[in-house]
Chain A
Amino acid sequence: EVHLLESGGGLVQPGRSLRLSCATSGFTFDHYALHWVRQAPGKRLEWLSGISWNSATIGYADSVKGRFTISRDNAKNSLYLQMNSLRAEDTAMYYCVRDRHLTVAGTFDYWGQGTLVTVSS
Chain B
Amino acid sequence: EIVLTQSPATLSLSPGERVTLSCRASQNINNFLAWYQHKLGQAPTLLIYDAADRATGIPARFSGSGSGTDFTLTISSLEPEDFAVYYCQQRSKWPYTFGQGTKLEIK
Name A residues whose Cβ lies closer than 8 Å to a Cβ of B.
Answer: 44-47, 50, 59-62, 95, 100, 105-114
Given A44-B99, A62-B95, A107-B50, check contact A95 B87 (CB 8 Å). no
Secondary structure type dominating chain B contacts = loop
In the assembled complex, the CB of A37 is this many whole angstroms from the nearest CB of chain B, namely: 8
Name B residues whose Cβ lies closer than 8 Å to a Cβ of A.
Answer: 32, 34, 36, 42-46, 49-50, 55-56, 87, 89-91, 94-101
Task: Report the bound CA distance from A110 to B42 in whole Å.
Answer: 12
Task: Report the bound CA distance from A61 to B99 in whole Å.
Answer: 16
Given A44-B98, A46-B98, A47-B98, check contact A105 B91 (CB 8 Å). yes
Q: Residues of A contacting B36 with CB < 8 Å?
A: 45, 108
Task: Report the bound CA distance from A61 to B34 in whole Å.
Answer: 19
Given A44-B100, A47-B98, check contact A109 B55 (CB 8 Å). yes
Q: Residues of A contacting B34 with CB < 8 Å?
A: 107-108
Given A107-B34, A108-B34, check contact A45 B89 (CB 8 Å). yes
Q: Which of B42, B49, B89 contacts A113 (CB 8 A)?
A: B42
Task: Report the bound CA distance from A45 to B94 in whole Å.
Answer: 15
Q: Is the CB of B89 within 8 A of A108?
A: yes
In the assembled complex, the CB of B10 is this many whole angstroms from the nearest CB of chain A, namely: 14
Q: Residues of A contacting B43 with CB < 8 Å?
A: 95, 110-114
